[in-house]
């Protein structure tokens, strides 16, 4: 029997042609949302872009549906949770847009440097005022690249051909990887101070929201150009508008916005020296062909029992396996997230040790959950237990596994160790606990906003930290302190109802004597 696929949104003809070689294809675009549940029943696969919403009623209306393919990167229009519960694989095309996004960043950069949109508008008004549109050359300018993922690396390669000097900020990539594309790895503050042009290529996470705001813009050189083709919300749009009004920034190019479509009251609309485009990063003929072929190939693979390289979820585990491993899968994920957030270092060689009868039989699901936790806070792509291993390989993450003995007093544990330290957790009943951090004996629930305060144990440290948090109206919901010896090295772990801001952390570091450092995390 031939498999059937429904293409519900327009995709490139090349993708349709590929599907038609192997499957029965129905192209029916513009199906009303309320009609799709009644249409989907006979199909084994569904291909969409962003227009069609693949909701729970749609997914629950077919017993045959095996795969939903999104011809693009985002899957916000697909109910991934329901798809996973029903064993429907969701795949996307994370690679097809890379070059298009990088080239669009360069287009905005050139448009700002040579004031192309403004000059075009002037000529169309019948003017010929060349002196009003004096530009700058990119040659010998310093480009600051925030995020050296796939798009950031492609921008680096293109910028080098313009004769630009490259500096980059990415706490999760090695200096050697940056040097391979001719970039010098620096801190974010140093990048802001040195760059003539800044381009942003990081995912939008809670830690990256307003990554470049008023404080960061104040560090830049007068006349700096700022580009954002990554995600709206990474750059504070109001702060950029203010800096453009005062003339501190020389220009800003935005393809993405906090709210899309852009609102009438968006502050960037009314300021000079901007180039604003309606999320065109992937809007090239070539990119659309690439993503169409990428998802078409994966649909054919999945329906023929082969793995999909762009899977963003996985069918649910068998009920008996889920019942046994469920809490440990969550623990592994949270250990990975904590490690990445606390270490702020490139992910290289790590070792995981499993202890306990229930979690030492088949550790493959635990390994994938741990990798997902390690990569999710820093990846521009959605990380799932299906694509975790592939993404780990691409990032140079190596995970060795062993079986061991749980610490005294515990019946099970998962311990993650690397050059920068160790973190260990356990499941007690159904409750997740972190029971060790480096050499410190700790015991806390891995959920909420955290402040980690390594310090020398002495009177006043804990009280001073708590007082400063209280003055900032940040509530402490739980606190624990693990020390190696009386008046010795100690780890204070505070669980907070609200995140500690940069300003509060700087004040704590400046005013509390004996602190070794200050680290934040959120789970």
| Domain limits for position 173 | 98-276
User: Has residue 1 got a pLDDT over 70?
Assistant: no
Q: Is residue 441 part of a domain?
A: no
The reported pTM is 0.77
Domain match, 68 and 126 both: no
231 is catalytic: yes
Residue labelled with tokens 């190696």: 484
Angle, helix 98-113 to helix 150-161, in steps of 10 degrees: 50
Which position among 20, 35, 51, 260 bears the catalytic label? Answer: 260
pLDDT digits over 7-24, tens only? 999 999 999 999 999 999
Which position among 279, 309, 483, 522 bears the catalytic label? Answer: 279
Instruction: Report yes or no: 374 and 397 within 8 Å, Cβ to Cβ.
Output: yes
**How much is the pLDDT for 360?**
61
Domain match, 92 and 106 both: no
- How far apart are alpha carbons 225 and 242 in whole angstroms? 14
70 is catalytic: no
User: Has residue 353 got a pLDDT over 90?
Assistant: yes
Domain match, 219 and 348 both: no
**How much is the pLDDT for 311?**
84
Q: Is residue 515 part of a domain?
A: yes
Domain match, 61 and 184 both: no
Domain match, 494 and 457 both: yes
Which position among 231, 339, 368, 395 bears the catalytic label? Answer: 231
What is the enclosing helix (H) or strand (E) of 144?
Answer: strand 142-146
Q: Is residue 425 part of a domain?
A: no
Bridge pairing between strands 449-456 and 519-522: antiparallel
Question: Residue 504 belongs to a domain with what CATH number?
Answer: 3.30.70.260
Q: Is residue 16 part of a domain?
A: yes
Domain match, 407 and 370 both: yes
> Which of 409, 441, 410, 398 minimizes the C-alpha distance to 423?
441
Domain match, 142 and 246 both: yes
**How much is the pLDDT for 382?**
67
Domain match, 341 and 462 both: no
Q: Is residue 150 part of a domain?
A: yes
Q: Is residue 223 part of a domain?
A: yes
Confidence category of residue 204, pLDDT binned at 50, 70, 90: confident
279 is catalytic: yes
Question: Residue 241 belongs to a domain with what CATH number?
Answer: 3.40.50.720
Domain match, 272 and 215 both: yes
CA 474 to chain centre: 26
- How far apart are alpha carbons 363 and 356 in whole angstroms? 11
Q: Is residue 427 part of a domain?
A: no
- How far apart are alpha carbons 191 and 201 in whole angstroms? 14
Domain match, 119 and 210 both: yes
Domain match, 356 and 231 both: no
Domain match, 233 and 380 both: no
DSSP count for the chain of H helices, then E strands: 17, 22
Average pLDDT over residues 295-305: 92
Q: Is residue 432 part of a domain?
A: no
């Amino acid at each position: 029997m031939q498999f059937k696929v429904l293409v519900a949104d327009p995709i490139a003809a090349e993708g349709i042609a590929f599907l038609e070689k192997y499957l029965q294809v129905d192209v029916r675009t513009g199906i009303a949302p309320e009609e799709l549940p009644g249409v989907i029943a006979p199909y084994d696969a569904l291909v969409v872009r962003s227009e069609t919403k693949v909701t729970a009623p749609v997914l629950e209306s077919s017993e045959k549906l095996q795969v939903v393919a999104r011809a693009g990167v985002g899957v916000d229009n697909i109910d991934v949770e329901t798809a996973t519960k029903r064993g429907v694989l969701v795949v996307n095309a994370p690679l097809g847009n890379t070059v298009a996004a990088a080239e669009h960043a360069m287009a905005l950069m050139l448009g700002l440097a040579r004031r192309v949109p403004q000059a075009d508008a002037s000529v169309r008004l019948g003017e010929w005022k060349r002196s009003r549109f004096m530009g700058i050359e990119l040659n010998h300018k310093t480009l600051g690249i925030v995020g050296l993922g796939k798009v950031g690396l492609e921008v680096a390669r293109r910028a080098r051909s313009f004769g630009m000097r490259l500096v980059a900020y990415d706490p999760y990539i090695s200096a050697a990887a940056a040097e391979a594309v001719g970039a010098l790895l620096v801190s974010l503050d140093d990048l802001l101070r040195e760059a003539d042009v800044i381009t942003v290529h990081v995912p939008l996470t809670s830690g990256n929201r307003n990554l470049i705001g008023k404080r960061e813009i104040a560090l830049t050189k007068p006349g700096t150009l700022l580009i954002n083709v990554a995600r709206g919300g990474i750059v504070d749009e109001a702060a950029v508008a203010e800096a453009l009004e005062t003339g501190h920034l020389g220009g800003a190019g935005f393809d993405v916005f906090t709210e899309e479509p852009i609102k009438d009251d968006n502050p960037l609309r009314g300021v000079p020296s901007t180039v604003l485009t309606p999320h065109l990063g992937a809007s090239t003929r070539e990119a659309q062909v690439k993503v169409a072929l990428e998802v078409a190939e994966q649909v054919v693979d999945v329906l023929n029992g082969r793995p999909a390289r762009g899977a963003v979820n996985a069918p649910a585990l068998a009920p008996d396996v889920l019942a046994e491993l469920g809490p440990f899968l969550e623990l592994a994920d949270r250990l990975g997230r904590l490690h990445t957030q606390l270490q702020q270092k490139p992910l290289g060689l790590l070792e995981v040790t499993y202890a306990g009868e229930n979690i030492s039989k088949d550790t493959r699901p635990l390994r994938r959950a741990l990798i997902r936790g390690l990569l999710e806070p820093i990846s521009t792509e959605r990380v799932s237990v299906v694509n975790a291993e592939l993404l780990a390989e691409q990032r140079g993450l190596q995970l060795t596994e062993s079986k061991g003995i749980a610490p005294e007093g515990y019946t099970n544990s998962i311990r993650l160790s690397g050059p920068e330290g160790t973190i260990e957790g356990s499941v007690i009943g159904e409750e997740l606990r972190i029971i060790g951090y480096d050499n410190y004996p700790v015991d806390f629930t891995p959920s909420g906003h955290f402040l980690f305060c390594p310090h020398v144990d002495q009177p006043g440290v804990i009280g001073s930290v708590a007082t400063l948090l209280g003055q900032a109206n940040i509530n402490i919901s739980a606190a624990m302190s693990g020390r190696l010896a009386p008046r010795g090295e100690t780890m204070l772990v505070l669980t907070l109802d609200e995140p500690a801001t940069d300003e509060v952390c700087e004040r704590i570091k400046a005013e509390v004597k004996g602190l070794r450092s200050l680290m934040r995390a959120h789970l």
